[in-house]
Structure 1
Amino acid sequence: MKIKETPLKDCYIIEPTIFEDERGYFFEKFNEKKFEELTGMNGHFVQDNISKSSYGVLRGLHLQKGEHAQAKLVSCLEGSVWDVAVDLREDSPTFGKWFGIELTAENKLQLYVPRGFGHGFSVLSTHAVFSYKCDNFYNKESEGSVKFNDPDLDIDWKVDEKDAILSEKDENAPGFKEKNF
């Protein structure tokens, strides 16, 4: 496993070491001990979530607030997504900055999104199966969100806005300056 820093503080790309032969491939998707040694971050996860979406679905920007904040380790199991993390920690040197990366079933990359970040993705393929490992349990009362197309963030979602398929919650999310985080 290789850990690569992103431009955002404490947000990492995880690249697996893949062993391939005529039978197929094998790789270690995650190793808590190695992750903690390489990043200094806690890598203990308590909840796994899977979503399936079609082209143009845009989910985000979401987070859990307060004591229910979650770090996430995300990957794409089928298809391709444009994954976005936004640093919403007001005391961070990268506050208000975003990072995007294409996660695919083929590249097998993962993104570690720390607590205090907003997270979302858009589906680039005909469909995608997306995996989230979370280090804290979901709590509905602690949901936070930021408008996906907020001009202060100016995120490129790699899907034309007219093609974006959004939930009502995401369409009506507050703007960045409203600080619903």
Structure 2
Amino acid sequence: MFLKRTFDIALGLLALAFLIIPMAAIALAVLATSRGPALYWSQRVGRGNSLFWMPKFRTMRIDTPVVATHLLEDPTRHLTPIGSFLRKTSLDELPQLWCILRGDMSVVGPRPALFNQDDLIAARTAKNVQSLPPGLTGWAQINGRDELAIPEKVALDAEYLKRRSFLFDLRIMAMTVIRVVGAAGIQH
């Protein structure tokens, strides 16, 4: 646990050092192309089912309902002009480095559920997945992302709980880079 947290802090600080200027440029692009703030803060479920606030670069219009993207009737009509690009490239996730440095998240773990995804929260709790800190990326993320049904996602999260190790985390991070470059499994 100490090694994982130390790695999270070191990687978070290193990433922030390299990405601060691109993040500022993205924030300015969001502000220039749509009405509203650059960041969207959503209440998410963390370790032990506690709630925390997680930032993302805003990819949806400010009047979009607060639900998981797959529950929107036509998600594309809610996107900002650069929202699709930010999602395809996962650049919208960069502000979550803040949550990693704060300790609300880890680099690798199950993706944090929205506060109102009761079915996902209950299924994860039944498998003890809530004992893990949520991650910027995870085993379920690289095995289907948004395309996974909740039972599949939870099964992969539970598998991560059993298999977790530093080497497994490194494998997941490497596979994340490959998936992000290919924009695999992302709903626009």
More helix by share: 2
TM over 0.5: no
Where relative contact order (Cα < 8 A, 6+ residues apart) is larger, the structure is: 1
TM superposition score normalised by structure 1: 0.25
TM superposition score normalised by structure 2: 0.24
